[in-house]
């Protein structure tokens, strides 16, 4: 659908270089940061109509559209029940409280990709509120999670020599969740960890693909600085948008910290604004001054009846929740004696974790050392386990760590032989040098040739013989 060329040119705007690279930020400031994260849910149909929800694989623009997602006069939205349930499940997974009574509201603003000139969103009663995500640098509280519809997409093209803006409505009314955090984030790395954890949990719930490059997951960071020791929120807030990877999120926040510190040091006040992130240059750039008094004229959407849940229904959703990565890692520790340093990375992806689970369970049946196996998998020392290759991986592992039965006298002979060849070992051992044990282990094994005895047995035998000397 061609439209007039828009007077927008916010992308690729010039960026004034305000600081020098790598300048260390004065340590008198600390970051105050909260994230707003959007993710498109992967329900089969769109949020308020029956159209296919698959904007990234549509054969061509405006394929998956109907009167509802085109905002045709008279067309009415009907809420996607699954999208609502999934939003609540995410809330439960993040420890949120759930509003048993909720509703959709209209948020008004004019933009060509918004066909009704209002977005159906949630204003004062989101489905979920008051949750938390634990990070290694401390908890990040979740303010709220609400459900809304995505907009269409503008394509700026040259058609027959004319500069035009085209609108693709394939994405219009795709269910979109917004997860808003409290300004609890204190470092750029924590922001990254928080965002990654969120994506991990969302993928575990299997409710969104979170494809960052295509915009299936979008990160926005609200950043400001305050002098260390001060309480309360700073008077300004800089919102950084257009961030499409976790690495860029970290970089953008670091850049902002330095930029803002420099301005504060110079005694300047920092304007409330929205900035974009240019990944090529590694810099943020001003997009627009933040309208303090943005008035979206919210009011309850009269086309959508309020949504009511019973506590029993919510309890049902809780019972349906899959085991989340943190819980799984902890359980692997209990059941398979796998250390956290292996369990945490190996539980990161749900599908992979399911394969590993089968692997460990079978390894345990075969009385193999699961922690060692986890270490081998994590360090990629054996064939990467897939659903098809579990047997192979197990055999490889067993082969690597196989212990042959060995005749006691044969083992003793080997130890004696090594001692005879290395008489200084006994002296060192008596002097308390335990490092010789390692040397003895290696040499004894070599003496045994192709036989691989249980190292524990070898160690015991060496110790026993040394003590008799």
Partner 1 sequence: MTNTHTMTLAQYLKGVAEKQFSPTEVTQAIQAEISKVNTDLNIYLTENEQAVQETEAGSAQPLAGAAIAVKDNISTKGMRTTASSTVLDTFVPPYDATIMTKLKAAGMSIIGKTNLDAWAHGSSTETSQYGRTLNPRNPEHLPGGSSGGSAAAVAADTCIAAIGTETAGSIRQPAAWCGVVGLKPSYGRVSRSGVIAMASSTDSPGPITKTVEDAAILLNYMAGHDKYDGTTSPQSVPDYTQALGKSIKGLKVGLLYQDIAGLEVVNPHIQAAAKVLEELGAVVEPVAAMDPHYAISVYTVVQRGEVSSNLARFDGIRYGNDRSFFGDEAKRRIMLGTYTLSKGYADQYYTTAQKVRTAFMQDFQKLFSNYDVLISATSPSFAKKIGVSENAAMFGELEDMLLEPSSITGLPGINVPCFHDTTTNLFIGLNIMAPMWREDQVITVADAYEKATSWNTWRKV
Pick one of 44, 72, 233, 387: the residue that binds partner 1 (CB under 8 A): 72
Query: Quick one: tokens of 324?
Result: 């989340």
* Residue 77 sits in the site that holds partner 1 (CB under 8 A): yes
Is residue 159 within 8 A of residue 9, CB to CB? The reply is no
Pick one of 213, 291, 295, 388: the residue that binds partner 1 (CB under 8 A): 295
Smallest distance, Å, CB 296 to partner 1?
Answer: 8
* Residue 112 sits in the site that holds partner 1 (CB under 8 A): yes
Smallest distance, Å, CB 77 to partner 1?
Answer: 7
Smallest distance, Å, CB 48 to partner 1?
Answer: 9
Residue 241, classed as helix, strand or coil, is strand
Residues paired with 176 in a beta bridge: 40, 148
Residue 357, classed as helix, strand or coil, is helix
Compare residues 139 and 305 and give the one whose CB is closer to partner 1.
305
* Residue 438 sits in the site that holds partner 1 (CB under 8 A): no
* Residue 155 sits in the site that holds partner 1 (CB under 8 A): no
* Residue 118 sits in the site that holds partner 1 (CB under 8 A): yes
How many angstroms separate the CA atoms of 213 and 313, rounded?
A: 36
Distance of CA 239 to CAs 28, 178, 271, 335, Å? 22, 15, 11, 45
Among the candidate windows 64-72, 94-102, 214-222, 233-241, which touches partner 1 by CB under 8 A?
64-72
Among the candidate windows 17-25, 30-38, 102-110, 248-256, which touches partner 1 by CB under 8 A?
102-110
* Residue 67 sits in the site that holds partner 1 (CB under 8 A): yes
Instruction: Please report, as residue ranges, which positions from 228 to 247 form the binding site for partner 1 (by CB under 8 A).
Output: none
* Residue 302 sits in the site that holds partner 1 (CB under 8 A): yes
How many angstroms separate the CA atoms of 201 and 247, rounded?
A: 19
Among the candidate windows 235-243, 292-300, 438-446, 451-459, which touches partner 1 by CB under 8 A?
292-300
Alpha-helical runs (H) found in 34-97? 81-93
- Alpha carbons within 13 angstroms on the beta-carbon side of residue 107 total 16
Query: Quick one: tokens of 228?
Result: 């260390």
Pick one of 79, 94, 177, 179: the residue that binds partner 1 (CB under 8 A): 79
Q: Is 424 left (phi over 0), alpha (psi -120 to 50) or beta?
A: alpha
Backbone angles phi, psi at 203, to 5 degrees: -70, -35
Beta-carbon contacts of residue 120 (< 8 Å; ≥ 6 apart): 47, 48, 77, 104, 105, 106, 107, 148, 149, 301, 304
Binding site for partner 1 (CB under 8 A): 1, 3, 66-68, 71-79, 106, 108, 110, 112, 115-118, 167, 293, 295, 297-299, 301-305
């Amino acid at each position: 659908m061609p439209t007039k060329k828009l007077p927008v040119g916010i992308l690729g705007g010039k960026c004034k270089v305000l600081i020098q690279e790598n300048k260390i930020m004065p340590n008198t400031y600390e970051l105050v940061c909260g994230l707003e994260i959007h993710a498109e849910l992967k329900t089969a149909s769109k949020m308020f109509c029956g159209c296919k929800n698959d904007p990234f694989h549509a054969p061509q623009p405006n394929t998956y559209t109907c009167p509802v997602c085109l905002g045709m006069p008279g067309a009415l939205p009907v809420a996607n029940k699954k999208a609502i349930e999934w939003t609540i499940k995410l809330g439960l997974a993040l420890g949120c409280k759930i509003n048993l009574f909720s509703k959709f509201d209209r948020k008004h603003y004019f933009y060509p990709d918004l066909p009704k000139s209002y977005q159906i969103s949630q204003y004062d009663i989101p489905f979920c509120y008051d949750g938390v995500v634990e990070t290694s640098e401390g908890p990040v509280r979740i303010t709220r999670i609400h459900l809304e519809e995505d907009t269409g997409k503008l394509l700026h093209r040259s058609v027959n020599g004319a500069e035009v803006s085209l609108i693709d409505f394939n994405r219009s009314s795709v269910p979109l969740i917004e997860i808003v955090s409290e300004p609890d984030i204190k470092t750029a790395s924590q922001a990254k960890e928080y965002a990654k954890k969120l994506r991990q949990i969302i993928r575990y719930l299997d409710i969104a693909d979170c494809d960052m490059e295509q915009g299936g997951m979008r990160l926005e960071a609200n950043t400001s600085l305050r002098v260390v020791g001060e309480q309360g929120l700073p008077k300004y807030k800089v919102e950084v948008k257009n961030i499409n990877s976790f690495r860029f999120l970290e970089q953008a926040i670091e850049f902002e910290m330095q930029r803002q510190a420099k301005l504060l040091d110079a005694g300047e006040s920092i304007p409330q604004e929205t900035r974009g992130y240019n990944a090529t240059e590694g810099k943020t750039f001003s997009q627009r001054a933040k309208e303090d008094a943005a008035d979206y004229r919210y009011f309850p959407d009269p086309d959508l009846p309020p949504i009511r849940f019973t506590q029993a229904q919510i309890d049902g959703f809780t019972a349906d929740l899959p085991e989340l990565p943190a819980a799984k890692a902890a359980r692997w520790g209990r059941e398979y004696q796998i250390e956290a340093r292996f369990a945490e990375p190996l539980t990161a992806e749900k599908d992979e974790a399911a394969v590993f689970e089968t692997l460990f369970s079978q390894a345990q049946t075969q009385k193999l050392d699961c922690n060692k196996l986890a270490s081998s998998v994590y360090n990629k020392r054996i064939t990467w386990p897939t659903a098809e290759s579990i047997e192979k991986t197990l055999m490889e592992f067993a082969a690597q760590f196989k212990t042959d039965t060995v005749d006691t006298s044969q083992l003793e002979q080997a130890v004696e032989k090594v001692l005879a060849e290395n008489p200084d070992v006994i002296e060192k051992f008596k002097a308390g040098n335990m490092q010789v044990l390692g040397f003895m282990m290696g040499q004894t094994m070599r003496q045994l040739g192709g036989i691989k005895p249980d190292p524990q047995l070898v160690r015991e035998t060496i110790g026993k013989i040394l003590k008799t000397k």
